[in-house]
Structure 1
Amino acid sequence: MQVSKDGRSWRVGTAADVEWIAGHTTAGISITTAIPPIYDAYATTHQADDVTVTACEHALVEDLITQTPDQPWWLAYLDTGAHDIVFPHAPRVSLYWNWSYVLVEAGPEQALTWRTGHMRHGHGSLPDLFFPVDRSWLVSALWDDTWTCIGGPEPLIDTIHRNPLANAHRVRPDEDALPPGLTRE
């Protein structure tokens, strides 16, 4: 199936496009609740008090672009019933605890511009989950978390960790994913 936006057609993803995630995460407080335990390195990132949402999101996406060969990205928007999912009439895929996502093949530009209003900030644009077609990394923000989880190759996580605007904190797969200074609600 295809959907239209910005004068183009975009491919809608299916369960087959996320089967490598579905059923491969573990319930709990570790990063593997959001990211399957298949990557070399992991981190969490969240907006620092002195950084705008836009600056934080752009820093993360720029780091992902510089560490990823040119290719499409899968963008997934969680259907909460109350937040922008960009394509409200598109079919859904199920992830995590049978949460419904709209999954569309696009790219970094669309990741930064399509959404209007984010459930965690009230503003911001990033999808709730996204990854390149080659699955070399995965970014996922779970519904009830105020931070974002990332899994990928060591050089990518190093790059994000060194970027002060991304405000990243390295975690091991068995560690609590909660970033320093944040509390669970």
Structure 2
Amino acid sequence: MITRAKDGRAWRIGTSAQVAWIAAGTTPGLTIAAAIPPGFEAYATVVLPFGGEGQDQHDQTVLALLHEQSADQPWWLGYLDTGADDIVFPDAPKVTLYAGWPYVLVEAGPEQAASWRRSDGWSLWKGVLPNLMFPVDRSWLVSRLWDDDWTCIGGPTELVDKFLRHPCLQARSVTPGQDATPPGHQAQ
């Protein structure tokens, strides 16, 4: 088991075994399956706030809804190594997902998801959340691909409905074969 120290504790670093289900289930393209494997009850995209305004509230809302769903288990947090983003553990081994993108994967939880990444101030819609999050039981998956200004989510209908109904989030339901690009946005 590979670990890295932070906050006075050793954190487990993930391997390709933890993300094999994502790698095997996603396909390049514009559908939700580019980010989220098939098999979940429901899917949605959630637009990120532009210009940083409302980003903290957005991030806190997302984490609260996910924590409510999976409070009793650890989460896997994935930090995409773009060369510019904070990946929290820069010396940790990486896993490869999607179009060959390297991620640092760490077993932690919502508290770490909210606090580990620093905001660099250069992106107008990035926030501090990890690029990839899912609980150990894989009951939901949240993924923000490379340059997209929205997040994709797959999970139980009850969870996705909470995202769709929340007044602080701009979310829309998508089906597995549908273009996941939110209206007015452009896939990169």
Relative to the length of structure 1, the TM-score reads: 0.94
Q: Give identity over the alignment, percent.
A: 54
Match of 1:16 in 2: 17
Confirm or deny: 8 A CA contact 1:57 1:166 kept in the other structure. Answer: no
Structure 1 pair 24/48, CA: closer, same or farther in 2 (3 Å)? Answer: same
Residue in 1 aligned with 2:55? 53
Displacement of 1:18: 0.6
Mark the runs of 5 or more structure 2 residues left unpaired by the alignment.
none
Q: Shift of the alpha carbon at 1:48?
A: 4.3
CA distance, structure 2, for counterparts of residue 139 and residue 123 of structure 1? 14
Which has the higher mean CA deviation after the structures are superposed, 62-71 or 113-122? 113-122
The corresponding residue for 2:131 is 128
Runs of 4+ in structure 1 off by over 3 angstroms are 48-51, 118-123
What CA distance in whole angstroms lies between the structure 2 residues aligned with 1:172 and 1:184? Answer: 17
Q: Supply the distance in 1 between the matched residues of 2:7 and 2:103 (Cα, whole angstroms).
A: 21
Query: TM-score scaled by structure 2?
Result: 0.92
Distance 2:53 2:161 in 1: 20
Aligned-residue CA RMSD (Å)? 1.8
Per the alignment, in what secondary structure is the counterpart of residue 21 of structure 2? coil
Gaps (5+ residues) in structure 1?
none
What letter is aligned with 1:180? P
Describe how 1:3-152 pairs up with structure 2 within 5 A.
Answer: 3-48=4-49, 52-117=54-119, 121=124, 124-152=127-155
Distance 1:55 1:67, change over 3 A: same
| Contact 2:28-2:34 within 8 A present in 1 as well | yes
